[in-house]
Amino acid sequence: MIKFDKLGPEKILEVYDPKSGMKGILVIDSTARGPGKGGIRMTPTVSKEEVAKLARVMTWKNSLADLPFGGAKSGILANAKEISLEKKEKLVKAFSKALKSLCPDSYIAAPDMNMAEREMEWFVQTNGDKKSCTGKPTSLGGLPHELGSTGIGVGHATLVALKYLDLDPKSITFAVEGFGNVGTFASKFLTGKGAKLVAVSDSQGCIYLKSGLDYKKLMQVKKETGSVINYENAQKQNNITHVQAEVLITAAIPDVIKKSDIDKLKFKLIVEGSNIPMAEELEETLHQKGILIIPDMIANAGGVISSYVEHINGTEQKMFKLVEEKITKNTALILKLAKEKNISPRKAAIELAEERILKAKKANTR
């Protein structure tokens, strides 16, 4: 069941094109602060409820990053792994056509699961306005994913949290769950600040090395053998969340931390690079136990900040500058509010996001 409250959702749209067979969903949760911004996912099971939930997270994330965007999300029902490229192009173009009257004034699209630059190019070709989406190829003014905005932002959030805990980056150890786009850039950033990377995982397993893993060597091992687990002399571990390190950066799957892990966690700080790495109740329990958690909607906002810079035709340099400024400022602000109110950083983040949205609604600027 979709929940309606003081924020939204403002619009729920189901679209169908009999010619291509395209079935799609768009949920615009809020446009109080600007056009609803959020990615398109293509999966065989995407539902209105799922899209609505993700659209709300985008409303919060964009508000917290203080961007002139509301929140939205959309989905196309199809199995991207089974359909041909020609079929995929037809579906994306039919979806873009169906949303044309709303994009970009009320909705700005972006890639999500099974969508990337090529799909955004199709979206723009049909819409006719480059502002209808972000995540475009560089030839259309896109800022590539490979610049690492999200992972670098995770690194900045970690530095602020370490300072809050009175820990020196040069004397801490950290573990990274997932060694893809977010995990590699966060690892590079933090090892560059002198922190010691002692554990890493990917889809094939987890490794630990007390004396520290070399970032460049890890990249090489991953490239040459397909997995970090082949790093020489490192010990194989069953679970990255049980390793001995001061900091955990999550950068892979949802729900990596489960109830049964709680008593085995030794981290002082968890920075959520991935989305929903644990249930909200678990986050609250860990907060009560004194583990500091920087929530996903603050820590991994580098991607949406980069989208905003692309939207205003900004440069790579502007993107890096804004990611650093915004993530540093927002992480510090949330930690301050959480301390003052004696609540978890996630609760403080949601309170602040809602306050800003309701203020924008009241001012009725749109």
With the CA atoms of 359, 361, 365 and 366 taken in that order, what torsion angle do they form, in degrees rounded to the nearest 10? 150
Measured CA distances, 273 to 91, 207, 217, 246, 253 (Å): 31, 19, 22, 16, 10
By CB under 6 A, tell whether 46 contacts ligand NAD. no
Touching ligand NAD, residues 246-275 (CB under 6 A): 251-253, 273-275
Measured CA distances, 251 to 224, 243, 270, 274 (Å): 21, 16, 11, 4
* Cis, peptide link before residue 137, omega less than 30° from 0: no
Name the one range near ligand NAD by CB under 6 A: 14-22, 76-84, 103-111, 177-185.
Answer: 177-185
Task: Quote the Cα angle for 161-55-130, to 5°.
Answer: 100
Tell me the β-bridge partners of 77. Answer: 43
Going along 40-172, which residue ranges are E strands? 40-43, 70-77, 107-108
Name the one range near ligand NAD by CB under 6 A: 121-129, 165-173, 198-206, 210-218.
Answer: 198-206
The active-site residue, picked from 37, 61, 73, 93, is 73
Residue type at 95? Answer: F
**Shortest distance in whole angstroms from residue 181 CB to ligand NAD:** 4
Say how many residues touch ligand NAD, by CB under 6 A.
Answer: 19
Q: Which residue among 35, 70, 178, 345 contacts ligand NAD (CB under 6 A)? A: 178
Site string for ligand NAD, 133-152 (x = CB under 6 A): -----------------x--
Touching ligand NAD, residues 300-319 (CB under 6 A): 300, 303
Q: Strand, helix or coil at 186?
A: helix
By CB under 6 A, tell whether 201 contacts ligand NAD. yes
Q: Using CA atoms, how far apart are residues 267 and 246, in angstroms rounded to an integer?
A: 5
How long a stretch of residues is the chain? 366
Q: Which residue among 30, 74, 127, 181 contacts ligand NAD (CB under 6 A)? A: 181
318 assigned to active site = no
By CB under 6 A, tell whether 202 contacts ligand NAD. yes
Nearer residue to ligand NAD within complex by CB, 177 or 283: 177
For tokens 């990337």, what's the residue? 116
**Shortest distance in whole angstroms from residue 100 CB to ligand NAD:** 26
By CB under 6 A, tell whether 177 contacts ligand NAD. yes
- Which residues are catalytic, by number? 73
Q: For binding to ligand NAD (CB under 6 A), which residues are involved?
A: 150, 177-183, 201-203, 251-253, 273-275, 300, 303
